[in-house]
Structure 1
């Protein structure tokens, strides 16, 4: 009889680790939370107390623990590869929050380390588990819109000064890797690529207009996709008071719009819109990062456990997560010029 439960340790006890991953993991029977670790011992101790698990003296002690099958990394983005690679070499499966890392090189090292050591890698891009988004993806695959013509992805959020002042890594090039696109916009950009496919060329303007940070708080990109469609991406943390993220899709047979992960428009030839619209508003991080719904974290983390226990590749793979990272870095690189692939 195969293993029925995975021991998991959470690395990083900030808001994401504490309020999202720990809360989600404790609801999933396929996981047993073994312990937590954070470089800030007081943060780790507080989470360990609240969730009644143990702490580790250091990261190596965690990796040496035979009870740990999976290491769940909730550290600043620029540390994902640095901590994920040793976990893979220790024979642990690895889960990392988005983005996979802040550089393609570090992300690829993490992918390679997991492959070379026979361990699984999953990147948390939980919107893939939103039923409304899955419905849109299937409709596109079934040709509901026909040939795609254009699309818009907009994350016009707001973060107040306290958000950036609350930690030493937010808004820094080294550990945040970017601003409104890399941190806040990556989920929407990931979905945009999921819907439209590969990019043929792009140009952009990238600016820091409001916050005293090292990275952008406003960026706008124009893209041409391989399928011929045109698209725009807007990402900001300077749009007061903050507006729900939105994706609009236009095809030869109609248009579909998503707002905060729910379907708000389904104007498609031969379809009754009322059959597709979502009546309930889901959580958006437009002005409060803590307002994001936890349910899709639960769904993805459960799917990861099921895949690992079955010996399969868990969703979302490192290679898939690398696509949105590459695009964001190319948008930064373009800034006033065209990039052709």
Structure 2
């Protein structure tokens, strides 16, 4: 059985809790190199896997020439490191948001195409069991057309998650580029596009820093979306849910309502207009405090094994990023931003 030689670039919390353990559990992967500016973090994993340690990602790429890489770095580095990896022939799994700008996202896609490698974005919400079940229910057609929606993602902030706590890059705008919207909002723009099999047509955004002191990255956002189908909804992202996290979506449809992640016991609830109620226990969604397998790594490795383009491709990541960037433009200009071409 062929094993793919994988390097992890960035050994912070997302690598620690998701990428590395999920690679370890995949028998078709050999972890061959780890890179982090704090060499001790990389060394810990290198010792475990008999792998090499680097502080410079370009040196790693040039010397190791891995089959694939996970890019688990601050947002500002996603594009340059992904492009550099593609240029040495490595398939790329990059954390979200895939880039800081649309131009960067386009350049990443072009670099992967030119090199003949795959580019996948870590939008794990599509793979969470409640969302998979919700999509399955929608596709039966019994709820009819989605008319309006609310999708929300919030938690107390990255200081409780990041390996560096309150000193994390998440709070430094030159590295993070964006705050709660880049961390959580882009997950929900990707989710709603995928769930509804629809694209966002217009965006109005209210985005600000309402609670986190000493930072100029956003900690709260409330956006209104109009889909191409005409469906209207809200997208909320926040680092100020201090009492506890929320990752819920409610879809109001022609024939009833679907509630996703609103109940701890029944992760998907369908209430039809005829009085019928369907409840589904399909498994909880992963949270920062309660880790479950994200499915992202296995999906990425499956693409390598089967030589199949990722469904969560660079193109998909770019469309989800565009929604978030439009929300920032709306906040800056006070205008509704159209994404229709």
TM-score (norm 1): 0.89
- Is 1:263 the counterpart of 2:267? The answer is yes
Q: Residue in 1 aligned with 2:328?
A: 332
SS at match of 1:170: helix
Work out the CA distance in 2 between the residues paired with 1:218 and 1:190.
18
Q: Residue in 2 aligned with 1:11?
A: 9
Work out the CA distance in 2 between the residues paired with 1:255 and 1:151.
9
Matches within 5 A, 1:252-331: 252-259=254-261, 263-268=267-272, 273-274=277-278, 276-278=279-281, 281-284=284-287, 289=288, 291-296=289-294, 299-331=295-327
Per-residue displacement from partner, 1:257-313 (whole Å, max 9, x unpaired)?
111797342113579534x422754443xxxx3x253312xx221222122122210
Work out the CA distance in 2 between the residues paired with 1:26 and 1:137.
29
CA shift, 1:128, in A, is 1.7
TM-score (norm 2): 0.89
SS at match of 1:145: coil
Work out the CA distance in 2 between the residues paired with 1:330 and 1:200.
10
Work out the CA distance in 2 between the residues paired with 1:249 and 1:88.
39
Consecutive unaligned residues in structure 2, runs of 5 or more: none
Residues 1:27 and 1:270: Cα distance change in structure 2 (over 3 Å)? farther
Kept in 2: contact 1:161–1:211 (CA 8 A): no
- Is 1:211 the counterpart of 2:212? The answer is yes
Q: Residue in 2 aligned with 1:178?
A: 178
Work out the CA distance in 2 between the residues paired with 1:102 and 1:38.
21
CA shift, 1:330, in A, is 0.6
- Is 1:223 the counterpart of 2:228? The answer is no
Residues 1:91 and 1:184: Cα distance change in structure 2 (over 3 Å)? same
Work out the CA distance in 2 between the residues paired with 1:206 and 1:282.
26
Residues 1:266 and 1:35: Cα distance change in structure 2 (over 3 Å)? same
CA shift, 1:98, in A, is 1.3
Work out the CA distance in 1 between the residues paired with 2:244 and 2:320.
23
Consecutive unaligned residues in structure 1, runs of 5 or more: none
Over the aligned positions, Cα root-mean-square deviation in angstroms equals: 2.4
State the number of aligned residues: 331
Matches within 5 A, 1:1-341: 4-56=2-54, 58-65=56-63, 68-159=66-157, 166-196=166-196, 197-212=198-213, 213-259=215-261, 263-268=267-272, 273-274=277-278, 276-278=279-281, 281-284=284-287, 289=288, 291-296=289-294, 299-335=295-331, 336-340=334-338, 341=340
CA shift, 1:72, in A, is 1.1
